[in-house]
């Protein structure tokens, strides 16, 4: 990356963990039908922007310092993503054997195999819709977003390397791909909304929006007031989507701009400091943000199994119970699964790939056995 183009920083920012909380909690509240979070599903789009921003920051900095390694990059992703995900899949299969009817349990086997291969977005694009009744019987439906992110992680470092070899026009290349992706989303959202929702390319512009921000798309905010206004505009944009959207809203398409631009503005304002960033950087939002990945993983199977065994009419005590249980499981998962694997020094790059291979083989085998039995 040439001097003067992009100098991303990987310094820890508490407000980003807080923004993760702002992303995951509305998803949880939406799934338990908690008023007024009728548009809580846009939390996934906020996650996409954060992921693109952080990955571009990491890859850009390592490229600038001449120490980027694709193998090490993928190994870090394995340690970060695989352990908690495969634990969720295993527990879901075990619990599902006691709750689901045979045909639904067989379908769980197929979706588990697709999830293990990080192709669940393609699987659910063929077999269900996110807002349809079939979604309520798919305990691994939420892994579609993880598949989109993983597909992005596979291709994005290669895209950055191409930009470097092409003379370092990183923003130009990322911007061109983002525009093509956004145009594809607009084209599909009316003609094939399920494909616009699940396929990776119509969603790539959301991750690339974060990546472009990390490479210096927006000019630095020179004053405190500019940072405050930027953050407030971002918060208002996200709020409009959270409380104004519903399952009937045409999405993603143009409406996805609200959470995406909102997240970008909050991230950008956080670089210079703002009241919103300080609020997001407080202890409670940061704590929720740190467990956000596990919270996202564990909450949806709980919602599906609870709905499957009840009348599906949420009462306040049931909503609170699932929310608290999800937070408890997420905390345990983060403490005893995520952190040990992410910080363990013995998991070298080679061992990380070996662990991934073993997990994927076991997951595919279990899924195939369920589907064929």
16-41: pLDDT as tens digits: 999 999 999 999 999 999 999 999 99
Question: Which whole number is the average pLDDT over 212-224?
Answer: 88
Question: Which whole number is the average pLDDT over 117-135?
Answer: 77
pLDDT over threshold 50, residue 270:
yes
pLDDT over threshold 90, residue 305:
yes
Cα 126 to Cα 129: distance, rounded to the nearest angstrom: 8
- Return the pLDDT at 66: 83
CB-based contacts of 102, cutoff 8 Å, min separation 6: none
333-358: pLDDT as tens digits: 999 999 998 887 777 888 888 988 99
- Return the pLDDT at 5: 45
57-75: pLDDT as tens digits: 999 888 888 888 888 899 8
- Return the pLDDT at 3: 32
Question: Which whole number is the average pLDDT over 130-155?
Answer: 84
Considering only CA atoms, which of 134, 80, 89, 133 is closest in space to residue 111?
89
pLDDT over threshold 80, residue 311:
no
Cα 355 to Cα 347: distance, rounded to the nearest angstrom: 9
Name the H helices within 220-336: 224-244, 257-272, 275-280, 283-290, 292-309, 316-333
pLDDT over threshold 80, residue 360:
yes
227-267: pLDDT as tens digits: 999 999 999 999 999 999 998 999 999 999 999 999 999 99
H or E stretch including 173?
helix 170-191
Q: Show me where the domains of the chain are located.
A: 14-372
Quote the DSSP letter at residue 348: -
Mean pLDDT over each residue of the chain, to the nearest integer: 89
- Return the pLDDT at 263: 97
Cα 139 to Cα 87: distance, rounded to the nearest angstrom: 14
- Return the pLDDT at 331: 97
CB-based contacts of 58, cutoff 8 Å, min separation 6: 8, 10, 73
Question: Which whole number is the average pLDDT over 288-300?
Answer: 97
pLDDT over threshold 50, residue 108:
yes
Give the pair of three-digit tokens for residue 91: 């527990």
78-107: pLDDT as tens digits: 989 999 999 999 999 999 999 999 999 999
Backbone φ and ψ for 312, nearest 5 degrees, come out as 80, 5
pLDDT over threshold 80, residue 322:
yes
Considering only CA atoms, which of 80, 10, 32, 25 is closest in space to residue 287?
25
- Return the pLDDT at 168: 65
- Beta carbons of 366 and 92 less than 8 angstroms apart: no
pLDDT over threshold 50, residue 2:
no
CA torsion sign for 169, 204, 146, 371 is negative
Write out 285-316 in H/E/C secondary structure.
Answer: HHHHHHCHHHHHHHHHHHHHHHHHHCCCCCCH
Percent of the chain surpassing pLDDT 70: 94
């Amino acid at each position: 990356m040439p001097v003067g183009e992009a100098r991303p920083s990987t310094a820890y920012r508490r407000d980003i963990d807080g923004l993760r909380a702002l992303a995951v909690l509305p998803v949880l509240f939406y799934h338990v039908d908690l008023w007024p979070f009728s548009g809580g599903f846009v939390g996934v789009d906020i996650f996409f922007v954060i992921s693109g921003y952080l990955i571009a920051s990491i890859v850009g900095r390592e490229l600038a310092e001449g120490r980027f390694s694709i193998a090490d990059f993928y190994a870090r992703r394995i340690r970060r993503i695989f352990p908690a995900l495969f634990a969720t899949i295993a527990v879901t299969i075990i619990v599902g054997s006691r709750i689901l009817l045979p045909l639904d349990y067989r379908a769980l086997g197929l979706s588990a195999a697709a999830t293990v291969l990080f192709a669940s977005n393609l699987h659910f694009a063929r077999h269900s819709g996110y807002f349809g009744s079939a979604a309520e019987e798919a305990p691994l439906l939420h892994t579609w977003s993880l598949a989109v992110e993983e597909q992005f992680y596979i291709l994005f470092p290669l895209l950055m390397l191409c930009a470097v070899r092409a003379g370092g026009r990183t923003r130009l290349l990322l911007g061109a791909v983002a525009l093509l992706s956004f145009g594809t989303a607009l084209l599909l959202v009316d003609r094939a909304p399920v494909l616009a929702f699940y396929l990776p390319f119509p969603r790539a512009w959301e991750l690339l929006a974060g990546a472009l921000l990390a490479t210096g798309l927006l000019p630095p905010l020179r004053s405190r007031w500019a940072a405050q206004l930027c953050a407030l505009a971002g918060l208002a944009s996200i709020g409009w989507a959270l409380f104004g959207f519903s399952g009937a809203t045409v999405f993603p398409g143009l409406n996805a701009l609200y959470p995406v631009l909102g997240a970008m503005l909050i991230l950008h304002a956080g670089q210079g400091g703002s009241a919103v960033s300080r609020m997001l950087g407080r202890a409670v939002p940061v704590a929720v943000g740190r467990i956000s990945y596990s919270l996202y993983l564990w909450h949806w199977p709980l919602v599906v199994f609870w709905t499957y065994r009840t009348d599906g009419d949420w009462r306040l005590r049931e909503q609170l119970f699932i929310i608290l249980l999800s937070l408890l499981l997420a905390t345990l998962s983060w403490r005893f699964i995520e952190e040990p694997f992410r910080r363990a020094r013995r998991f070298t790059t080679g061992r990380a790939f070996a662990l991934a291979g073993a997990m994927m083989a076991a997951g595919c085998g279990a899924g195939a056995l369920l589907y064929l039995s």
